[in-house]
Structure 1
Amino acid sequence: FIVLAVSLLLSWILALTHVPIMADNLFKNLKSKNEGEIYNSKFHKALRTTLSWCLKNRAITVSIALFLVGCSIFCYRFLPQGFFPDMTYDQLYMEYKLDEGVNNTKVIEDLKEIENYLMSRDEITHITRSIGGTPARYNLVRSIADPSLSYGELIIDFKDSKSLVASMEEIQEYLSTNYPHAYVRLKRYNLMYMKYPIEAQFSGPDPAVLKELCSQAEAIMDTCPKTYLVKNDWEPRTPVITANFNQPIARNMGLTRQDVGISMLSATGGIPANVFYCGEKRQTIYLKSVDNNGNPIEGLENSPVFSMMPNLRELNRKTLQGIINGSISEEDILEAAMRTVPLNQAVDGITVEWEDPVVIRYNGQRAIRAQCDPVPGVGAEEARQSIIKKIEAIELPPGYSLQWFGEHKASTESMENLFKSYPLAIVLMIAILIMLFKDYKKPLIILCCLPLILIGVVFSVLISGKTFGFVAIVGALGIIGMMVKNGIVLMDEVTLQINQGTEPTTALLNSSVSRFRAVAMASLTTILGMIPLLTDDMFGSLAVTIMGGLFVGTMIILLIIPVLYSLFFRIKIQIPQEK
């Protein structure tokens, strides 16, 4: 906004100061021409003829304009909808996720196999591997994965963006077929900040009910031909060892819950004690409880439980007397203080239960999301529309709700931020126009022409096949300002000629013809400036929107505004005879 405001202010100042000075210096020796010679080209004659017909047939002209607006509104539903297109990069990244709790050695092995396959392809030049999370790099056009030892990622470089797009579907199919035990997804860089393009979130109190609702949504996504790579954001249940702590007995033996927990850890995975570096490789040192032969303890219930603090209950007056008279040795005292007991003496039993490793909440409520991607060649909004009726038809128990996230939520939030100040801008524009013309009819005529922009915008996007997303909407809003500017130029000329005593119909014809070059050149220069952006994935839709909107907008200014002016001011049309 600041850049546009400063640029337009400077251009206005230059137009009022620099242009007259340069014109005075450069055009001193030009021969003057009368008005008939200036506006006698074939373009001006064609415009005068067309406008004369429109003024004679005002009802038909307005009806045609309204019909075309209605057609554009009807055709709007056929526009490819989206938020932001994928970036035109020669690089993408691959997300690889196993079930939570799986050892990362399996992740490393699979990623090495995938690397070997990818490097065997001619279009791939380089691969970077990351284990446990997103690589330590700063990138604004991608999502960040949650840290996990069961997660891995590959950053894949291609020779060019065309080879990336051509081979992406084949690589994805290979990965999904050969690694069914993992969730593998190729993802291009995109400004859309949500992790998945399509997400249906169920919220409620009971995890079991949430999983059932989510499974129904996933089944719908699986059967839809426009969606694939279906999953949810809850991890599969993992086994959890639970020891029923017997507090009275454990306290009598000088043991706490922490002692039992650490002792169980030493008998299973081991207690991480330190780190050892072998060159650049980092190895963790674990303390483990083993039997006399160095093997893991077979029965967890027989694993030794030791106290973190020495047991000093045996150190009493009798013990001190025994040390003095030599009946008790120091080794006996140390053995009593550091003795261990079997786990089954401190707990009432050991059970293995399956639990959700992470329970995700949204606004304080448990929530689970069914997630998927659109198949290649299908937009996220188009894919969502293909499943929205079936998913919203899922019967929700009382206390449960369904919300759409992903690209839909990101787009909705962006549109709200974009349009929240727009009513104020419209009010300010109307106020400036009323102050400029000192009349409410003339600003109303200009505002009535603004919906006609849809004709050029909708049909140009529909013909080009571009996605009508956030960038295209910004372009459409920009056309409104250009239309208002051109409308002011023509309306001011009409007012000037009528005030000079020109017959109203003649004033309408002469004003449109005389302003043809100014309006057309302003639009043409902008249209030509948009041509380099047509092939750009990000700004191509903006270029098409502005080009189509300005092309139709030029005709609206030159033809429709005179017709509406004659209707609003009840001018009786009398077409003058051409000399």
Structure 2
Amino acid sequence: GQTVIVTKSIEARNRVKPALEKLLREEFVGTDAFVKLLELGPPVGRPVQYRVGGPDIQTVRELAQQFAGVISANPKLAAPTFDWNEPQRVLRVDVLQDKARQLGITSSDIASALNSTVGGSTITQVRDATYLINVVARSREAERGSIETLQNMQLPTGNGESIPLAAVANFRYDLEQPTVWRRNRTPTITVPAGLVGDVLPATVVNELKPSVDAFIAKLPPGYSVETAGSVEESAKSQGPIAAVVPLMLFIMATILMVQLQSFQRLFLVVAVAPLGLIGVVAALVPSGAPLGFVAILGVLALIGILIRNSVILIVQIEDLVAEGKDRWAAVIEATEHRMRPIALTAAAASLALIPIAREVFWGPMAYAMMGGIIAGTAITLLFLPALYVTWFRIKEPEEAQGNDADTAAVPEAQGAER
């Protein structure tokens, strides 16, 4: 079961969570209790999880316990648990088939009698409005848990007499798994563990990878260890995006090629987009926002914004060159003319993202886009003109250099006259 606690603020939530963890740890010793925040994505429980599977149940139990010892060495993980592992004591009824057949009693008769005593059987139904409710008759709780009750349970024989169940069956205690989870029909134990401190599951999984790989190398044939939990669910959610990225890049390159009509200019435009990650990292690290699914969507949108600004600047330069201007002067003039529109557009986009920056779900995307837009705009206006001049080997005109030299010589001459 679970209990949902709603606090009045994030600060109150951050105070309640450690208090509940301490209470459960001290007052409910031996219980498997876990305090977590409601997931924004698929619910996975404890974020770091591994699956240990194989054909033999007992071997899987032993390997799962050994694996739990391997991952518990990481101080960033809480104590690992198991979704099933501990066997329970059960009462087995071994029917003496020879005696039962002589008395005209079948295994089905014994099973029906046991089910009626322990689980109960429906004897009638009661109508409640439009619903029919079963009325179940079974033994009292004290009698259901007593082996004497089962031994003395009367069974009708073929000649109309009744005999106790102990006359045709033996009773013994045994251990068995109450629950066995299977994955692809293979017994599989999930080993989940919580996180200690503000750390991402992917970070801990990467730190555990060497020790996990060493453990996998020692596994017997037919047994495996797989990564589950948040890392697996994150890979599932990002898979569809990664599948369409090649098509997206092809369409973008085609449209840019139609617009620019030059592989060189296409390279200059595309070269600016990855540099926007500088601003993404600079914004995500101080804010503590994770680079998750939503932030990746923001990065994809950021790429389009940076490429658009680069195309605007490159096209402006080419238009000025087509009008007869020198390439050096065209680069300077185009940068000066396009600086204000590009900067205002970036400022408007960044300011518009501020309202959702405090949201838990949309915050990572907002920080990623704001940092990338600000840094990408500066890169577009400073790095792209320099890259254009360097790539096409544009040199400053000699007239401009001569004018600079004459300007510098005038004050010297005036100083000599004085």
Q: TM-score, normalised by structure 1?
A: 0.63
**Aligned equivalents of 2:60 and 2:15: distance in 1?**
39
What amino acid is the match of 1:344?
A
Alignment partner for residue 191 of structure 2, among 363, 370, 376? Answer: 370
Deviations 1:52-75 (A, max 9, x none): xxxxxxxxxxxxxxxxxxxxxxxx
Deviations 1:505-561 (A, max 9, x none): 000110111111111111110111122223222222222211111111112222222
| Structure 2: runs of 5 or more not aligned | 128-132, 408-418
Residue equivalent to 1:157: 6
Question: Aligned residues: percent identity?
Answer: 26
Q: What is the DSSP-based 3-state SS (H/G/I as helix, E as strand, rest coil) of the residue aligned with 2:94?
A: strand
| Structure 1: runs of 5 or more not aligned | 1-151, 312-335
Distance 1:268 1:427, change over 3 A: closer
Q: What is the DSSP-based 3-state SS (H/G/I as helix, E as strand, rest coil) of the residue aligned with 2:35?
A: strand
Distance 1:469 1:503, change over 3 A: same
Distance 1:548 1:296, change over 3 A: closer
The question of 1:257 aligning with 2:111 is answered no
Contact 1:263 1:306 in 2 (8 A): no
Q: Which has the higher helix share?
A: 2
Counterparts in 2 of 1:380-391, with a 5 A limit?
380-391=201-212
Q: What is the DSSP-based 3-state SS (H/G/I as helix, E as strand, rest coil) of the residue aligned with 1:368?
A: strand
- Structure 1 residue 228: deviation in Å? 1.8
**Aligned equivalents of 2:198 and 2:316: distance in 1?**
50
Residue equivalent to 2:82: 232
**Aligned equivalents of 2:68 and 2:299: distance in 1?**
37
**Aligned equivalents of 1:388 and 1:267: distance in 2?**
52
**Aligned equivalents of 2:122 and 2:89: distance in 1?**
21
Contact 1:271 1:288 in 2 (8 A): no
Residue equivalent to 1:438: 261
Q: Which moved more, 1:497-506 or 1:449-458?
A: 449-458
- Structure 1 residue 567: deviation in Å? 3.2
Deviations 1:330-352 (A, max 9, x none): xxxxxx43x322223333x2222
- Structure 1 residue 398: deviation in Å? 1.4
**Aligned equivalents of 1:423 and 1:237: distance in 2?**
50
- Structure 1 residue 183: deviation in Å? 1.3
Q: What is the DSSP-based 3-state SS (H/G/I as helix, E as strand, rest coil) of the residue aligned with 2:193?
A: strand
Residue equivalent to 2:154: 304
Counterparts in 2 of 1:113-512, with a 5 A limit?
152-193=1-42, 194-234=44-84, 236-266=86-116, 268=118, 271=121, 273=123, 285-288=136-139, 298=148, 300-306=150-156, 311=158, 336-337=159-160, 339-347=161-169, 349-394=170-215, 395-512=218-335
Q: TM-score, normalised by structure 2?
A: 0.85
Q: What is the DSSP-based 3-state SS (H/G/I as helix, E as strand, rest coil) of the residue aligned with 2:289?
A: coil
Q: What is the DSSP-based 3-state SS (H/G/I as helix, E as strand, rest coil) of the residue aligned with 1:353?
A: strand
**Aligned equivalents of 1:273 and 1:220: distance in 2?**
54
Distance 1:171 1:275, change over 3 A: farther
Contact 2:48 2:230 in 1 (8 A): yes
Q: What is the DSSP-based 3-state SS (H/G/I as helix, E as strand, rest coil) of the residue aligned with 1:199?
A: strand
Contact 2:88 2:178 in 1 (8 A): yes
Distance 1:199 1:270, change over 3 A: same
Contact 1:226 1:386 in 2 (8 A): no
Q: Which moved more, 1:382-391 or 1:422-431?
A: 382-391
